[in-house]
Amino acid sequence: MSVIDVSVMAGEILLALERSGGAARVEQMTLHRPCSRDVLLMALGWLFKEGLVTVQPGIGDWLITAHTRGV
């Protein structure tokens, strides 16, 4: 696992959120991507820290919502 793996996954998460209308569950993101859950969670943490996503707990899974930054 490397910083590159995490950054690529962060980009894939943002793309998946864009394609899904701005929200998706963590489980949905792991189904179609050949990466470990650890890489996915690190990428989510990075995006959360940067203010690009919101993470909300759900029943058995987390809901990820994209934020848009004001220009």
Q: pTM for the whole thing?
A: 0.81
C-alpha distances out from residue 9 to 24, 42, 59, 70, Å: 15, 9, 24, 24
Contact in structure between 47 and 53 (CB atoms under 8 Å)? yes
In the chain, where are the structural domains located? 3-66
Written out in words, the top-level CATH class of the domain with range 3-66 is mainly alpha
**Alpha carbon distance 42, 3 (integer Å):** 10
Tens-digit pLDDT profile for residues 17-58: 888 888 888 877 777 667 778 888 899 999 999 999 988 887
Q: Where are the beta strands (DSSP E) in the chain?
A: 23-25, 53-57, 62-66
Strand order across the beta sheet in which 62-66 lies: 23-25, 62-66, 53-57
